[in-house]
Amino acid sequence: MSTALKIPTTTSGSIGADHVRLFVAAFLLVLIAELIGNVSVPLAHAKVVLLPLLWALLIGAAWGLASRRMPVSLAIGEPLQRTASSILQPALLLFIAKLGLLVGGSLPKLAAAGFGLVFQEFGHFFGTALFGLPVALLLGIKRQAIGATFSVGREPSLAIIGERFGMQSPEGQGVLAEYLTGTVFGAVFIALLAGFLASLNIFNPLALAMGAGVGSGSMMAAASGAIAAQQASPELAKDVATFAAASNLITTTVGTYFTLFLSLPFTIWAYKVLEPLLGRTTKASIESAPADAAHALHETSSFGFGAQVLTWLLVGVFALLGNWITYNASPADPLVLGGMATIVGTVLVGYALYRLTSAKVPAVIWVSLVGMLLTFPQLPFAAQVAAMTGKINFLALATPILAFAGLSIAKDVPAFRRLGWRIVVVSFTANAGTFLGATLVAQFFMHKPIV
């Protein structure tokens, strides 16, 4: 599982002409995606809803892939793709701030969920191996299966496997494969899966929301958005975002320790037990994926504090555009502007606390706590803050973030192509496992499905 975002503390760096081109590209992606809007694709008795955030992700990826054939003035080359990847770190804090503001006002509802919210985390942490490991063994993947299925394979997972086995080991190759597959396809896959399951009406939407908190900001945004888009009432859609945020915060804060001390030992043990029973010899048994963790890791942003503030302001403006087009909330409305200003202010205060504590506590935790405090029901101004920030739909904030994610994808495609289809299937199964595992546990504690 991924731990919290850690924002770089460098004070150097600025936004240059190339960066301006990147922000213009992201703005255009948001505009196009929001104008396309929600598109429902029927699948027998179910459906998949393609949200603006998915359009932004897919069109951004296509733009990056086509850049080699574009004029230089229009191309988003690899250096800009890496910059887009690094922008995700500060940009995601805006989304985290909005979710923190939702969580604060909904703490009584979260408390009412009780054991469901607590124990669904076991589904997150063990679901990857329970679903993914048998598939990997049946496909002939050997020790790479351990690295690919002990977690959803974000940056902390690379560090854990690298320290324990080394990145050149089969386990290192497996976690790298999971990382790259999640980077390229994770948000799209989890959004489609979550939307499909939501359309079946066999799970409580709040159980699905808790399943969406997989520990990755972009994947959580995509999954919770797909679930919320299919709810009949705005209040239930808001609750979906709230429960997803709470689940993701729990996964984020305890994720590294859980994967290190529980998930990884369990997966190693399960591999030893299941490999003699399910293991097969195929082409995948003798071929190994290339390991290049340094290439795979998201680049650390070189933006200074001023440039990060400008990033938050610009992403906020992009979100206001989407909020206007899709949710009819005019940026000229003082409440709308006040809501966005509050979200940006929450990020600034949280980031300041992060810096004041010498980065010992991740920025995402501080931002979440500040947001929850501002809307905590016992505070006298909580209702006013909630009213303003409620004018900003959380999906409008997710679209520009996924636009930058899309623009960053093309740089990882060459490495992704070398992995082979088997490890990709395993990665998808592991990602589905963490979502389904947590959803099933949460559903058990919430008793009744929505029918």
What lies within 8 Å, CB to CB, of 261 at 6+ separation is none
Average pLDDT, the chain: 83
The total number of structural domains in the chain stands at: 1
pLDDT higher than threshold 60 for residue 287: no
Single-letter amino acid code for the residue at 227: I
Q: Whose CA is closest to 403, among 151, 190, 221, 240? A: 221
Percent of the chain with pLDDT over 90: 34
Is there a domain that residue 356 lies in?
A: yes
Is there a domain that residue 4 lies in?
A: no
201: left (phi over 0), alpha (psi -120 to 50) or beta: left
Residue 451 has a pLDDT of 41
pLDDT higher than threshold 50 for residue 220: yes
For residue range 344-392, what is the model confidence (pLDDT) as tens digits?
999 999 999 999 988 777 787 889 889 999 999 888 899 999 999 999 9
Is there a domain that residue 344 lies in?
A: yes
Residue 9 has a pLDDT of 40
What lies within 8 Å, CB to CB, of 374 at 6+ separation is 101, 104, 342, 346, 381, 382, 385
Single-letter amino acid code for the residue at 40: S
- State both tokens at 345: 């202010």
Residue 13 or residue 161, greater confidence = 161
Cα–Cα distance between 32 and 52 in angstroms, integer? 8
Is there a domain that residue 274 lies in?
A: yes
With bands split at pLDDT 50, 70 and 90, how would you rate the model's confidence at 293? very low
Do residues 7 and 354 touch, judged by C-beta distance below 8 A?
Answer: yes
Residue 414 has a pLDDT of 73
Residue 300 has a pLDDT of 44
Is there a domain that residue 11 lies in?
A: no
- DSSP secondary-structure letter at 48? E
Residue 291 has a pLDDT of 46
Estimate the crossing angle of helix 305-327 against helix 334-356, to 10 degrees.
150
String of DSSP letters for 235-265: HHHHHHHHHHHHHHHHHHHHHHHHIIIIIHH
Estimate the crossing angle of helix 187-200 against helix 421-446, to 10 degrees.
40
Residue 188 or residue 292, greater confidence = 188
Where is average pLDDT lowest: 49-63, 223-237, 253-267, 412-426? 412-426
Cα–Cα distance between 97 and 373 in angstroms, integer? 11
Where is average pLDDT lowest: 88-102, 175-189, 269-283, 426-440? 175-189
With bands split at pLDDT 50, 70 and 90, how would you rate the model's confidence at 279? confident
Residue 290 has a pLDDT of 47
Is there a domain that residue 2 lies in?
A: no
Residue 2 has a pLDDT of 40
R_g of the chain computed on alpha carbons: 21
Residue 415 has a pLDDT of 62
Cα–Cα distance between 344 and 130 in angstroms, integer? 40
Residue 289 has a pLDDT of 47
Is there a domain that residue 301 lies in?
A: yes
pLDDT higher than threshold 90 for residue 302: no
Do residues 185 and 161 touch, judged by C-beta distance below 8 A?
Answer: no
Residue 205 has a pLDDT of 93
Is there a domain that residue 328 lies in?
A: yes
What average pLDDT does the segment 155-163 reach?
Answer: 71
Residue 4 has a pLDDT of 40
String of DSSP letters for 395-440: HHHHHHHHHHHHHHHGGGHHHHHTT-HHHHHHHHHHHHHHHHHHHH
What is the domain extent for residue 138? 17-446
